[in-house]
Amino acid sequence: MKVYVKTYGCQMNLSDTEVISGILAKNGFSITQDLDDADIAILN
């Protein structure tokens, strides 16, 4: 399953996005930079 993660706001949000992306990748999700290619979108 492909996940698109978009970060808004401060540096803490960027850090949270990196943590979230790492957890998702370790659990078999693919991170995509293309929203149209994603099955799931996470807005942080």
Query: Using one digit for the tens of pLDDT, what is the confidence trace for 5-22?
Result: 999 988 899 999 999 999
Reported as a pLDDT band with limits 50, 70 and 90, residue 28 is very high
Instruction: Determine the structural domain holding residue 37 and report its residue range.
Output: 2-43
pLDDT at position 9: 87
User: How many domains does the chain contain in total?
Assistant: 1
As a whole-number percent, the residues of the chain with pLDDT over 70 amount to 100
Q: pTM of this prediction?
A: 0.84
Contacts of 22 (CB under 8 A, 6+ apart): none
- Residue 11 is predicted with a pLDDT of 86
1 close to 27: Cβ distance less than 8 angstroms = no
